[in-house]
Amino acid sequence: MMSTAGLPSEGVGSAQNEAPARRFCCTFLLAVLALCALAYGIIAGFDPYGVTRGAGELGPLMDINQRYVYPQIVRSGRYSSAVFGTSTVRLLDPQRLDTLLGGRFANLAMNAATPWEQMQIADLFLRHTPKPQVLVFGIDAPWCDHDADSEARRLTPRPFPPWLYDDDRLNDWAYLFNSKNLEIALRVAAYRLGLMDERIRGDGYEVFVPPEERYDLARARMHIWQGREPRQITPVVPAETVSEAERASWRFPALAWLDAMLARAPAETRKMIVLPPVHVAVQPRPGSRAVAVETACKAALVDIAKRRGALLVDFRRSSPVTREDSNYWDPMHYRIGIARRIEDMLAAAMNGTTEAEDGFFVTPASPAW
């Protein structure tokens, strides 16, 4: 009978096998924790969204999503005037507006921003700027949607960080640790080392359209008209009719937000409501029901402007500018030269001009500033 006295017991062998596994797990866990600590340290140290910065401080703006970078522009306290809206007013240069309209401007318009998102940055601006000099609100078609206040219409597929818009700075740290914020922090590091340029200027301005030397009219027309031929606007015949009962049922809930925001601004603040000049290809067709809806929405804007002492400047109309294809990259986005002209026209309207000679704009509501 074979003796087992010299052989290790099953329990001892099992313990010896488990020891290396435990060491590996502990080492792996410590390495993961160390990497997490390093990543969090990079995010906190380079602070891509200005969580640790106080008034007067502003870091480089490296995120392409304006929803993340604009709060630190506001909190810096450097700007007394602002533009709010979507990409249809993003080409307005704050440095030119400083001279033309007064105050120190930031352009806080965000690509494809919903009315609700625009109100979040405007609300933040008013909370941090007790005495704003000039407020410019760019109003696009979604402001006239009957369901603009629905949950489905408040946000877009682009992420929106509500934690950057509240007054609790401590809760920001809970949202900072993720791969996206690490990427932006590394971009800040690259900027500090001179390896990258700032994505957005410190006042929010960015030329997001292609360089002018790459402009191609044939390509622009393809985008403007979406392949439709002939490239012209044809009225709806017979014209669509709207009953008084239907007209009375129309509601524009987002305009109530605008009204309330304008009411919060001090009486001495100059307030402007601007309807940007989109191409006639995306304006309502003459004779359509959409024309009646837009007319009613504009009338509501006139009432708000008069009630709140705001200047309403309407570029959203058929004019030589909006009918000319070569002024646009696509139906919504005009070229740089048109942006410069809009800036000049806003100054003219502020100084009392009620209509451009070529009909580019009209001012249906002009306050006695």
Give pLDDT tens digits for 307-330.
999 999 999 999 999 999 999 999
Nearest to 56 by CA among 39, 83, 75: 75
For the chain, the first-to-last Cα distance in angstroms comes to 113
Residue-level pLDDT at 3: 54
Predicted TM-score of the model (pTM): 0.90
Residue-level pLDDT at 6: 54
- How large a percentage of the chain has pLDDT more than 70? 95
Q: Are 231 and 279 in contact (CB under 8 A)?
A: no
199's tokens = 């994505």
Residue 11 pLDDT more than 80? no
Residue-level pLDDT at 224: 97
Among 224-233, 245-254, 256-265, 302-311, where is mean pLDDT lowest?
224-233
pLDDT in tens, 260-289: 999 999 999 999 999 999 999 999 999 999
- How large a percentage of the chain has pLDDT more than 90? 78
Alpha-carbon gap, residue 71 to 125, rounded angstroms: 8
Which spans in 4-49 are helix H?
A: 10-46
Give Cα separations from 355 to 134, 314, 345, 350 (angstroms).
21, 9, 9, 11
Residue 303 pLDDT more than 90? yes
Average predicted confidence (pLDDT) for the chain = 92
Residue-level pLDDT at 7: 53
pLDDT in tens, 330-356: 999 999 999 999 999 999 999 999 999
Q: How confident is the model at residue 13 (pLDDT cuts 50, 70, 90)?
A: low
Q: Are 314 and 356 in contact (CB under 8 A)?
A: no
**Domains of the chain, each with CATH number or no CATH:** 65-170+201-365 (3.40.50.1110)
